[in-house]
Amino acid sequence: IQQTIIDGSSMEPNFHDQERAFMNVAVYKYFHAPQLGDVVVLIPPVEPSKMYVKRVMGRPGDTVEVKNEQVYVNGTPLKEPYISYPPQYTMAPVQVPPGQYFVLGDNRRNSNDSHFGWFVARDKIVAKVWLVIWPPSDWGVVPSQDLAKQLHSSALNTILSPLAQPVAAAGN
């Protein structure tokens, strides 16, 4: 576990400039890959001398699109109660390349992130943001946003919907 300082407003309303947080550097190294909805510390390809804090919105193989003020992953519109304002831009569908991740800032109106055309290599995702520790008024565990559950639910509904169609009884 290491400390990080939030720099800038790209993750508002959930993280604020100069907040301090603990990040878990072991979770992605030893336990599992980054998950949709995780808030991560990363080294961006556009500024490799800096570290950014962003939310994982697409994994290798996922297709991400932004339209009608909403983010779509694999064709499913995501419900994002953690953002204050929807994106004011559109982005054509892009498939996340193998070994790469698509990230967005929660402040969709002010964030240098993957909607500008770049991805983050798996080995450039340094840690998962775990606990805000400063200022004391913001202290708390970073809530989990399991966006993958929305994708699984949407896929399951697509599979089951033909089964839910009324069937005429034979022999009437």
* Whole-number pLDDT of residue 149: 86
Cα–Cα distance for residue pair 126/48, rounded to 1 Å: 12
DSSP E strands in the chain: the ranges are 2-5, 20-24, 39-42, 52-58, 63-67, 70-73, 76-77, 91-95, 100-104, 120-121, 125-134, 140-141
| pLDDT at 99 (0 to 100) | 97
Active site residue 10: yes
pTM: 0.86
Asked if 54 is an active-site residue, the reply is: yes
C-alpha–C-alpha distance, residues 4 and 143, integer Å: 17
Mean pLDDT by 10 residues, the chain (172 residues): 92 94 94 95 96 97 97 96 94 98 96 97 97 91 86 54 43 42
- Parallel/antiparallel/unpaired status of strands 91-95 and 63-67: antiparallel
Q: Which two tokens stand for residue 128?
A: 């998962």
| Tokens 């202290």 belong to residue | 139
Q: pLDDT value at position 167?
A: 43
Q: Kindly state the DSSP code that residue 28 receives in the 8-state scheme.
A: I
Q: 3-class DSSP state for residue 70? A: strand
Cβ(56)–Cβ(71) under 8 Å? Answer: no
The per-residue pLDDT for 154 is 55
C-alpha to C-alpha distance for 8 and 105, rounded to whole angstroms? 11
C-alpha to C-alpha distances, 58 to 8, 97, 99, 130, 151, nearest whole angstrom: 23, 10, 11, 20, 11
Considering the candidates 9, 49, 50, 54, report the single residue annotated as catalytic: 54
pLDDT value for 143: 85
Active-site residue identified among 10, 111, 114, 128: 10
